[in-house]
Structure 1
Amino acid sequence: MTGNTLTLFSEFLGTMFLILLGNGVVAAVSLKKSKAEGAGWVAITMGWGAAVTLAVYVSGFMGPAHLNPAVTLGFAIIGDLEWAMVVPFILAQTAGGIAGAVLVWLTYLVHYKETTDQAAILGTFATGTEIRDNTANILSETIGTFVLVFVLMIFGENTFSEGLNPLVVGILILSIGLSLGGSTGYAINPARDLGPRIAHQLLPIKHKGDSKWEYSWIPIVGPMLGAVAAAALYMVIL
């Protein structure tokens, strides 16, 4: 593969692993007759932290391992990514999100058939909120993503032992999930929500219900705003 092709493939592959393992833990906790059914929020946040760590290891030796359009936007603003690569990165990440969600569905195929709770099914694909308030929901996603992108940028100003970076990124995701994720389910990543939501729309899942597209703009706009704010603060400080 050429350099750009390999980098785009790394974004696709890493995001696919991210969603497979991240949404996989949500499916394990939420779907009927899973051995992890009812394990709760702590299991989900720990699973997502581990998912991000492993996805960055998968992707990081081939490219920057953004795996997130908001991260891509933030690093383009501060000059760490060519603007011409922003849209291709986002497309690769979204495609990876779709692929990862399909793999979760295949993994838990029989459990989806046993589950009749439409909200639980959608929750294994996309994020949502129990209290719908556009302003509050946007703020939640903006603040969570601001923390994510700003701390990732600050990580770049520190020196870690070789191979340790993905682990500290996973700890960052775990912290965001435990501390800030209870409001909207902390998408903090447009591809993490949009890709799987597209899969939910298209897959033949019994009892799946509506894909809630009326909410889908929030986990896109909020993270992008958070990324812009993080980049602005980073540039002021440094």
Structure 2
Amino acid sequence: MNSIPVQALGELIGTFVLVLLGDGVVAGVSLAKTKANGAGWIAITLGWGLAVTLGVYTSSFMGPAHLNPAVTLAFAVIGKTPWSAVLPFILAQMIGAFLGAVVVWVQYYPHWAATKDQAAILGTFATGPAIRSPFANFMSELIGTFILIFALLGLTRGQLTAGLNPLIVGVIITAIGLSLGGTTGYAINPARDLGPRIAHAVLPIANKGDSDWSYAWVPVVGPLVGGVLGALAFIVLP
């Protein structure tokens, strides 16, 4: 098994790929004058599923490829990840997510100036509620992440062909997005939201508004709580 620093590097690389491709599809759909403009929610959820799949494939040879602080914390709570790895993994995930968002900004550089909708620009980086209701939004993130962790742990009991797991993980992400993601944009991953939100705050993005920090706790706390609950629910199964 690789050392914790090597595994953390894998978390950074995998989360970078995840956010680059995930935020990239949102940018393609949401920003003005892209060829994917207006492709819709199905394109976004499918793109995110594939982004997670490729993030896992590009990093799983280095470590567990959690790519998500909610996964890392939940797995630590039930003893599947050593507590000594939790902080290094989460820091690496946050850095990877931030860097992925920076490259999305570079990739779509002329399209920010062509886009006047500040909410659409922020939505390229971070999630936001369709209807702002803190309790309901928190519960949406909690439920989505509960299902994510419960399903991921279910994979550990299956007899899957070697190398197939990342594809199934992508299917899980797509399913959650299609079925549950319409309320908040389904962060279900604190790093995926907070890292790019910080990038939105610090980058000189044309036409951007504020980074909606009053909402930022929801896609961080909701997934962390939902992930732990999902793991605890799974381990009581026979």
One-letter code aligned to 2:225:
L
Root mean square deviation of aligned Cα: 0.8
Q: CA deviation at 1:88?
A: 1.1
Give secondary structure in 1 for the equivalent of 2:12: helix
What is the aligned partner in structure 2 of residue 207 from structure 1? 207
| Structure 1 residue 35 corresponds to structure 2 residue 28 | no
Distance in 1, matches of 2:174 and 2:131, equals 23
What is the aligned partner in structure 1 of residue 66 from structure 2? 66
Q: CA deviation at 1:87?
A: 1.2
What is the aligned partner in structure 2 of residue 161 from structure 1? 161
What is the aligned partner in structure 1 of residue 4 from structure 2? 4
Q: CA deviation at 1:130?
A: 2.2
Trace 1:1-238 onto structure 2 (pairs within 5 A): 3-238=3-238
What TM-score do you get using the length of structure 1 for normalisation? 0.98
**Aligned pairs, number:** 237
Give secondary structure in 2 for the equivalent of 1:60: coil
Give secondary structure in 1 for the equivalent of 2:98: helix
Deviations along 1:86-118, whole A, 9 cap, x unmatched? 111111000000000001000000111111110
- Structure 1 runs of 4+ aligned residues shifted over 3 Å read none
Distance in 2, matches of 1:104 and 1:87, equals 26
| Structure 1 unaligned residues grouped into runs of 5+ | none
Give secondary structure in 2 for the equivalent of 1:17: helix
One-letter code aligned to 2:127:
T
One-letter code aligned to 2:147:
V
Give secondary structure in 1 for the equivalent of 2:59: helix
Identity of aligned residues (%): 60
One-letter code aligned to 2:126:
A
Note if contact 2:11-2:59 (Cα within 8 Å) is conserved in structure 1.
yes
Q: CA deviation at 1:70?
A: 0.2
| Structure 2 unaligned residues grouped into runs of 5+ | none
Q: CA deviation at 1:162?
A: 1.3
Note if contact 2:30-2:120 (Cα within 8 Å) is conserved in structure 1.
yes
One-letter code aligned to 1:160:
L
Note if contact 2:130-2:182 (Cα within 8 Å) is conserved in structure 1.
no
Give secondary structure in 1 for the equivalent of 2:86: helix
